[in-house]
Structure 1
Amino acid sequence: MTLSPASTATGPQAAGQRRLLTLLFVDLSGSTAMAEWMEAEHYATMLAALRDLYERIVPHHGGVIARIQGDGMLAVFGHPEVREDDGRRATEAALELHAAVRGLRPPGPLPADFPGLTLHSGIHAGIVLVGEGDQMRGRFELLGNAPNIAARLSEAAKRDEIIASEESLGLQAQFFETGARFSLQLRGRATPLAAYRVLGRAAVSRRYEASMRRGLAPFVGRGDELATLSAAMADTLSGQTRWLGVRAGAGVGKTRLTEEFLRHVVDQAEQPCHIHRGYCESYLSAEPLQPFLQMLRAMDGMTDAPPELVDAQASAAPQRADALLDLLLALARRMPQLVFVDDLQWADDASLRLLHRLRTTAERQGLPLLLLTASRPQPGGTGLGAHDDHAQLLITLPPLTDCESAHAVQQLLPQGDPFIAAEVRRHAGGNPLFIEELCHAAADAGASLVAGQSSAAWLAALVESRMGRLPPEQARLVRLAAVIGTVIPVWLLEALSGCGEQHPDVRALAGQDFIFPDQSPGLLRFKHGITRDVVYEATGLHERQALHRRISTELRARGGAELHEQLAYHAAAANDWPAAGLHAEAAGDQALAASALDRAKKQFRAALAALEFLPDGDDAGRGRRRRWISVAQRLGMACVFDASQDDLRVLRHAAQLAQADGDAGLIARTEYWLAYVGYALGETRDSLRHARAAVEQAQQCGDHALLAQLPGTVGQLQAAAADYAQAIPMLDLAIQRQRPRASKNAVNRIGLSFSLCCRAYVLGDQGRFSDAHEVFAEALEPFDGSGHAVEASIQGWRAAVLLWQGRWADARQAAAVAHRVGAQVRSMFTCAMGHAAGAYGAWMAAADPLARQHILDATAWLAPRGGGLYSSFQHGWLADILSTQADNAAARHHIARALKRGRQHDWIGGAMAYRAAARLAAQAGDTVQARRYLSLARGAGEQRNSDHETAVTALLEAELQLDSAWPAALALALAEFERMGMTGFLQRAHRLQQP
């Protein structure tokens, strides 16, 4: 018989408490078949024995049985109190249940082929609404998707198999022997679930050992703290007694710091020192004197043992503390001793008393003893309950600085998207554990946003267990602050709670590493974004919405145009869609005016989402659709420097709505933005079609403002298609029209500068480098040093032209600006192109071995956005590098990718790709193919009227020396390099002349 997941299915919102639970779903394997051949009385006896096991084993591991139905059982871990090791407890319970059931023998006669009794189990964790149960629903009514997933995992498990989801175990999976991580597509779930088959317990007892088993993250920072510990060790070696405590919140790295220090003591000590390790734990019922008994067991078999060791091993429990004290003091009389106790916050009273006695007695006797303890801060601890307050020196370990966090992320995600890396740092708040887990999540999810990866249940349990230890008033403040947001205005918190920045509870939360004063006056901030997200998610829906409504009321009363963004967020969270749409639009317009394009995109998308909830009747519907189109057009304006396929889909929908409306003006402008965003994504051919449609509709409705903008857009598209004969007149016309208007507003200045930029790179491609740099200077002048997105774009193109010219150092400098400014304004295109251009400059200047990987990284960053604008550049650069390195397979791949871009009229990297193919053919001894590819390279250059490409192709012909005509090719290249000032290539050509 199976416990039906329907009993825990998601239902209407009911009275209950929102809790983070780990759920263990257990069923007896093959029970239906057994019920057919067993006598009913025997079957009932077997079920009773099974239920006895459930009722004995589950509570022993800290779980609560929610329901038993037939032979199936659903147990919850984390109610009434969430513990950070609930996933581990559930898995331990499942292993013990499976072993116990294997030992049961059903009553009565058994078939000859009876395989024995076994269970199959599933473990999953998530947010569940917990309500009162009844006879039908069990002890609790559990509403949410997590119970269903646990049931599906149990269904997927085979006989005697336990399947646990990765997000319920996380790092705790290392406490167990598991099969390989695998993805499971569960019925009723849209995306696959990562899971493990749990095979048994591993020989791991500490979290640090679990981390070692998975692979330690890089050790970053902590130089001052290591120096302090080393000084204390030096004092001990000179004959003194010291007690140092290291205190930090969960995951901040206290154990890692102490282990690094202990390793240093072993490796660097100039005189012998005996190290003893012990730890305390909250799991199940730890024995009294646990850390000291661990030390004692580690000494078993110790050579030249003092008599006190025998006494300590033989002592009865009441006298054991005295014997352990005598043993450690005796050892300290023989040589310096270092006693390390980890997780002191979970120490029993006997261990704490022994620690204090050891310190005071050793001090009195003048013994060389270093006591080192690591603990978490405890809310409201006093006396012995404060654990390490009596340490002579307490090292309070802060989170990593932003610089240290960046270093850690770089090591964990060496090829990571820089925006994802920034999100990791922001969300982790300097907590090394959070950094590590978010980096693992980002690596697994590719370029998915990290915000969605921070809710792994085992990490959420860590946060919720910390919340559970807070006094009720402080916990209430944290939940209120979480609804306000990651950044909390002090005035708003005080208005809602009566607690200002100096209130004792607010200050206590700073000490507990929850909320601390922001750098900007009048603001508080969550230390870790993960904490805020977990606390918010665990707050009940009705409570959240009520708080969002109160916050909206306070914000409106406060007034001020700068509050639109906050009002939009809180209105949407309260399902006040009319207000949400209005405020999001206003916030988007403000961000667009301030050139904060990423924020503008976010707000315009929020406005579009809110509009979907508004009435769709006849008159109201037409107004809503027109408003939707208007917002979508502004979204187009915001996304031109960092477009994605999602943006393009929004504008395509806007174009459909405009066509249905029939207004030529609406159609013209949606077609215009479709053209521009398509251009930003490299879809040049389709964009030219939309641009022509925009011209036609603008002429029809007399939209002269749009007609004035369109020559620049059409010229840019034709330039991207390498149709310079058509592009140059259009760009010149656009520049002529834009110059008089550039002084009127920022939009006109941006339009003029970008038209000038396009004109400059066309000049550069034609080998007119002096003219190109003059035009670049005019384009850049209004924005040089401004940090504006257009500055990044112009500098990116300057870098490309400087690479064409062979000015490697100048190109790298311009590329660095494009990369830096692109990152600041969150324009992935300019950020990635700057990164790639700088890397290619480094390759050309000094054959930098890292260049290849840097360009591959930049290409990977852009891939999820679906963009291809000028991506033939990157593939051409890679083809050039790889063919030079004779990496034939990889070079051919990027040659094909560069040439494939020609289908969208992106030929900017075509000549380079053909040259790489010629080099590969020559390396293989195929001179016929090599000549053919050189001919194609010349044709690709001539198609763009590109003198620099012709000259570089002639240089390669001379380098390959395929026939006796190579000296003439070299002479041509030398003359052209001299004429165009192509310095780097000129040096390369001169080297060919040398004997």
Structure 2
Amino acid sequence: MTASPVSAATPDTAGAGQRRLLTLLFADLSGSTAMAEWMEAEHYAAMLAALREVHERIVPHHGGVIARIQGDGMLAVFGHPEVREDDGRRATEAALELHAAVRRLVPPGPKPSGFRGLTLHSGIHAGIVLINDGDQMRGRFELLGNAPNIAARLAEAAKADEIIASEESLGLQSQFFDTGPRLTLQLRGRATPLAAYRVLGRAAVGRRFDASVRRGLTPFVGREAELAQLQAALGGALSGQTLWLGVRAGAGVGKTRLAEEFLRHAAELAAHAGQPCHIHRGYCESYLSAEPLQPFLQMLRALDGMGDPPAELAAAQHSAPGDRADALLALMTALARRAPQLVFIDDLQWADDASMRLLHRLRATAARQSLPLLLLSASRPATARLAAHDEGAHIIDLPPLAEREAAHAVQQLLPQGDPFVAAEVQRHAGGNPLFIEELCHAAAETPDGLVQGQSSSAWLAALVESRVGRLLPEQAALVRVAAVIGNVIPAWLLEALSGCGEQHPAVRALAVQDFIFPDQLPGQLRFKHGITRDVVYEATGLHERQALHRRIRIELTARGGTESQLHEQLAYHAAAANDWAAAALHAEAAGDQALAVSALDRAKKQFRAALAALEFLETPDESEEATRLRHRRWVGIAQRLGMACVFDASQDDLRVLRHAAALAEADGDPGLIARTEYWLAYVGYALGETRVSLRHARSAVAKAEQCGDQALLAQLPGTVGQLQAAAAHYADALPMLDLAIGRQRSRASKSAINRIGLGFSLCCRAYVRGDQGHFDEAHALFAEALAPFAGSGHAVEASIQGWRAAVLLWQGRWAEAREAADVAHRVGAQVRSMFTCAMGHAAAAYGAWMQSADPGAAQRILDATAWLAPRGGGLYSSFNHGWLADIYAVQGHARAARHHIALALQRGRQHDWIGGAMAYRAAARLAACAGDATQARRYVALARRVADRRDSAHEAAVTTLLAAELKLDAGWPDALDRARAELTRLGMAGFLQRPHHRC
């Protein structure tokens, strides 16, 4: 017998409480301790009773529930028993009214001099809370979790009569209020700072679109077909027709923005065509200032002061409440008889019954009289309760943004954003413009971009949870089951857990309501928005989640097929069910599989998950031998993590490997130590920490020789050679690289690791020889290095092509350099190697600058540099700064050029001199253009010194050319001829074909 959606989710254990997303308001009386000293006990009790009456009157009015009143402090919750998308706004409105009411209270009895009256100080925060039933000691509810503590800490941070609300609880709704500047608070008991605002009062904002305008509208993208439909309807109304169009979409999809763009177009058309079309706006609210006939009364008030008003205007303004609907109907039809009218009502789903009756009457009356009237409404998807709201309207169902449109929106909001973060935003947002905007704001505020499990603020999560709360119980349970399965949902698995197959009415209803929909692959479903899945999962009770994860593991295993196809899924569900042994096993296997196919980001993720699971396996009674074996396994996985992260290393990776080195040292096995030191050296090299990495490499050599690890000894000369090459010690680097290449060639056929090692060593020798001006030899080495990988999409292909692009730039072969750089960028993006992706992007931009003086080149190099910054690495970053210094110096942007000259030379102090000569040449150009020939010659001499340090023939030739062009060398015509001859000899003709940039 199949399970129903309700029975599929095992309920939380008795007494475990409900897991809810709540907004919490903590309000405390300011200075109460001092007052208790000078007030009589009876007077103090009377004051507390008056304070309690204020709390009990105001909090419920705004939809809150008082959880606890203790002395002069009060904790209220918003979102229980039903989460609402505006709970943060409700809590803030309640706080403002509470503060105003308490200021009006006058405590009984005599007051000391200097007493300024009663005030509160309040804090507002939202988050997941576990709710248990309360008692006399704990209050109406017992609230467990960090959110109540943070609300109390915010109240502590607030001064007398201040309200501090966290950004998470308000988000876009902060625009409904006048606030102080954004604060960053380090609260007691919280590891990370919290963004918050001081709430000063209410703003003159009535609807979410107005709040968005205050914040700053994002670029309007897409919607061409929908705009065309609206414009066609406007043409019909101008020609005398009565039409009603209803734009329908979920929250945040952009229906109001579309309507406003259309209304702007309609106003411009009326102004330019001389054909009057009067526009009326109204909106509906879910609470607060909502009143019967709200949108029509807003339109009526906007007509106050209208020139040459019809008689019906005064009648409507002075009508009795019972006659108001008839008077408004008469007014709107009278206006339509004069000229075409366009009536827009926003958030129709919240309209009161009187407004809906009047809207339908207006449409019917205007149609009977053939009046030129266009009715436009915007509303959420229809539910059983709202089915008749826009009945009779021509519905425009507004879909989420297409992938191209969403990418454009993300690019506008994160112009220098990491492309991997941008892709993550698109995946989570699912084309919802509001989600895109909020995730981009979150990514911009977080140095590491989006953090797993923290991809939405509480106010946005409340919006999602409020949608779930409006589902039928069977549908809501089904969504929670699907969320535990994951963002992609095999239909067979959902049916096994819930009894609902792909064609079940409940599943199809969830597609209509924009939750889950059929994926491109048959037999799979997918959440429309990844952020929706994350929010629903987080709000599902722990015991319910763990029970489902255990069932999913059983079903996946019983499904059959090779277990190797399921390692990643089994690892995830095992970890979520706290089965750490199985989680470590499957995550390690999944990491190995991902590494084998060069899916490096997935390999890193799985290896890190395996390491975390091993940590959880530690127990107090673990034997010494078990601990040793677990540590050795930990070190082995960390070494493979090193292999996965060399193309995209971060400081976090380095910290993991340092811990592995400490464990290996404690173990004492020379082979274990040697390989850990090797990966420490390699990852340190990938992060530009050349000096320290050389020390680790030498230690690895010593340990490998001690234990006779011939395979590692074959790899180590290549690593040492690459490190010495990075430090510009070419004389030491080349013999090591030659030794490595000889060993690796003999082993290349035996394993993929050896082929990768050979490719790296050949690539490194190629760029060294290219730097020395031996370009033909360099390109032959690149060809050999690329042969096993060309077109494979492997990360090593991206790395080799990136260096090939650099050598082609040194040679002046701009177009070929751009092609190679584009391959590095594209393949780097595919394998999620940020270093090769970013460096390819930067190299292609500099090639475009050198080839055609592309004005956008500098910005693209800046973008690539910004992508790498959060990872904490600096390998060859002097390239970027040298390129930028060169571009800005030629463009005459002296300040920007000097900034990047300084950064390039700073990298030189860390043994990264690859961009040093270019930086000094840029400084020479600036000095020469400023008329300081002496200083310019000094910088040219320093550029030559860097070229000599690197034994770089191409740098020496380009420096000589610059000195001649700037007339810094004696007998400059002869010097120019000599420079050109040297460039021709080296095969660097591209530099001779570029125009000479004069000051």
Does TM-score exceed 0.5, indicating one fold? Answer: yes
Paired position in structure 2 for 1:388: 390
Deviation at 1:285?
6.4
Separation in structure 1 between the aligned mates of residue 308 and residue 416 of structure 2, nearest angstrom: 53
Distance in structure 2 (CA, Å) of the matches to 1:749 and 1:338: 70
Q: Where does residue 423 of structure 1 map in the other structure?
A: 424
Deviation at 1:80, TM superposition (A): 0.6
**Letter of the structure 1 residue corresponding to residue 897 of structure 2:** A
| 1:698 lines up with 2:704 in the alignment | yes
How much does 1:75 deviate? 0.8
Q: Using CA pairs below 8 Å that are at least 6 residues apart, which structure has the higher relative contact order?
A: 2
Q: Which stretch shifts more, 220-229 or 107-116? A: 107-116
Is 1:309–2:319 an aligned residue pair? no
Query: 1:477 is aligned with what amino acid?
Result: L
Q: How far 1:564 moved relative to its partner?
A: 0.6
SS in 2 for 1:245: strand
State the alpha-carbon separation in 1 of the partners of residues 282 and 836 from structure 2: 53
Q: Tell me by how many angstroms 1:762 deviates.
A: 1.5
| Distance across 2 between alignment mates of 1:380 and 1:36 | 59
Deviation at 1:852, TM superposition (A): 2.0
Structure 2 match to 1:81: 82
Contact residue 973 and residue 989 of structure 1 kept, 8 A: no
Partner of 2:8: none
The one-letter amino acid paired with 2:469 is G
Rounded Cα–Cα distance in structure 2 between residues aligned with 1:323 and 1:884? 71
Match of 2:402 in 1: 401
Counterparts in 2 of 1:530 and 1:982: CA distance versus 1, 3 Å: same
Match of 2:600 among 597, 601, 607: 597
One-letter code aligned to 2:361: R
Deviation at 1:509, TM superposition (A): 0.7
Tell me if structure 1 keeps the 8 A contact 2:890–2:997.
Answer: no
Matches within 5 A, 1:745-784: 745-784=751-790
Counterpart position of 1:286: 290
Relative to structure 2, which stretch is displaced further, 787-796 or 622-631?
A: 787-796
User: Which aligned pairs between 1:366-765 and structure 2 lie closer than 5 A?
Assistant: 366-381=370-385, 385-391=387-393, 393-559=394-560, 560=562, 561-615=564-618, 616-765=622-771
Say if 2:954 is the partner of 1:948. yes
Indicate which of 344, 349, 356 corresponds to 1:352.
Answer: 356
Q: Name the residue aligned to 1:933.
A: 939
From the superposition, tell whether residues 839 and 282 of structure 1 become closer, same or farther in structure 2 (CA, over 3 Å). same
> Deviation of residue 14 (structure 1)?
5.2
Counterpart in 2 of 1:365? 369
1:912 to 2:915 alignment: no
2: CA distance, partners of 1:984 / 1:407: 35
Corresponding residue SS for 2:840: helix
Could you say what secondary structure the match of 1:612 adopts? helix
Paired AA for residue 182 in structure 1: L
Residue in 1 aligned with 2:192? 191
> Which runs of 5 or more structure 2 residues have no equivalent in the other structure?
1-12
Between the aligned partners of 1:300 and 1:451, the Cα distance in structure 2 is: 52
Q: How big is each residue's C-alpha offset from its partner over 1:79-123, in whole Å with a ceiling of 9 and x where there is no partner?
A: 111111111111111111111111111112222321011111111
* RMSD value, Cα: 1.7
The 5 A counterparts of 1:158-307 are: 158-269=159-270, 270=273, 271-284=275-288, 286-307=290-311
Deviations 1:802-852, CA, capped at 9 Å, x for gaps: 111112222122212211211111101001101111121222223333222
Cα distance in 1 for partners of 2:103, 2:212 equals: 32
Q: Give the drift of 1:311.
A: 2.1
Deviations along 1:786-814, whole A, 9 cap, x unmatched?
22211211111111111111122221222
TM superposition shift of 1:453: 4.3
* Matched-pair contact (CA < 8 Å) for 2:850–2:994: no
Mapped to 2, the partners of 1:813 and 1:441 lie a distance apart of 34
**1:788 to 2:794 alignment:** yes
Instruction: Report if the CA contact (8 A) 1:344-1:375 is conserved.
Output: yes
Give the whole-Å Cα distance in 2 for the aligned partners of 1:102 and 1:636.
62
Please list every run of 5 or more consecutive structure 1 residues that lacks an aligned counterpart in the other structure: 1-11
Between stretches 875-884 and 630-639, larger displacement belongs to 875-884
Q: Indicate if the aligned counterparts of 1:667 and 1:697 stay in contact, CA closer than 8 A.
A: yes
Alpha-carbon contact 2:965-2:996 (below 8 Å) kept = no
Give the Cα separation in 2 of the matches to 1:321 and 1:673: 78
**Contact 1:50–1:101 under 8 Å retained in 2:** yes
Structure 2 counterpart of 1:326 = 330
- 2:245–2:377: 8 Å Cα contact kept in structure 1? yes
Residue type at the aligned position of 2:191: A
CA distance in 2, matches of 1:149, 1:991: 59
Amino acid at match of 2:96: L
In 2, Cα distance between equivalents of 1:961 and 1:655: 56
Higher mean Cα deviation, 958-967 or 274-283?
958-967
Distance 2:71 2:680 in 1: 61
**Aligned match of 1:848:** 854
**Bigger mean CA deviation after superposition, 777-786 or 455-464:** 777-786
What CA distance in whole angstroms lies between the structure 2 residues aligned with 1:581 and 1:786?
30
Contact 1:438 1:450 in 2 (8 A): no
Maintained 8 Å contact 1:765/1:946? yes
* Alpha-carbon distance in 1 for matches of 2:454, 2:614: 28
| TM norm structure 1 | 0.96
* CA-CA distance at 1:387 after TM superposition: 1.7
Distance 1:989 1:227, change over 3 A: closer
CA distance in 1, matches of 2:996, 2:87: 71
Following TM superposition, by how much is the alpha carbon of 1:60 offset from its aligned partner in structure 2, in angstroms? 0.7
Q: 1:386 to 1:571 in 2, by over 3 A?
A: farther
Deviation at 1:205, TM superposition (A): 0.6
Matched residues in 1 for 2:890 and 2:501: separation? 65
TM-score by length of 2: 0.96
CA contact (8 A) 2:963 2:969 kept: no
Q: Displacement, 1:640? A: 1.0
On the 8 A contact 1:242/1:370 being kept in 2, the answer is yes
- Separation of aligned partners in 1, 2:389 and 2:302: 24
Amino acid at match of 1:330: A
Q: 1:13 to 1:495 in 2, by over 3 A?
A: closer
How far is the alpha carbon of 1:678 from its aligned partner? 1.4
1:390 partner amino acid: G
SS at structure 2 position matched to 1:872: helix
CA contact (8 A) 2:438 2:456 kept: no
Match of 1:4 in 2: none
Task: Tell me how far apart the structure 2 counterparts of residues 907 and 474 of structure 1 sit (CA, whole Å).
Answer: 62
Q: Say which of 893, 898, 901 aligns to 2:899.
A: 893
Q: Secondary structure at the match of 1:54?
A: helix
Q: Secondary structure at the residue paired with 1:80?
A: coil
Q: Quote the Cα distance in structure 1 between the aligned partners of 2:847 and 2:15.
A: 63
Between the two proteins, the alignment pairs up a number of residues equal to 978
Q: CA deviation at 1:710?
A: 1.9
Q: What is the identity, as a one-letter code, of the residue corresponding to 2:610?
A: A
Distance 1:183 1:146 in 2: 17
2:59 counterpart residue number? 58
Alpha-carbon contact 1:130-1:142 (below 8 Å) kept: yes
Cα distance per residue 1:625-648 (max 9 Å; x no partner): 110111011111111111111111
- Cα displacement (A) at 1:514: 0.7
Q: Tell me the distance in 1 between the aligned counterparts of 2:291 and 2:995.
A: 79
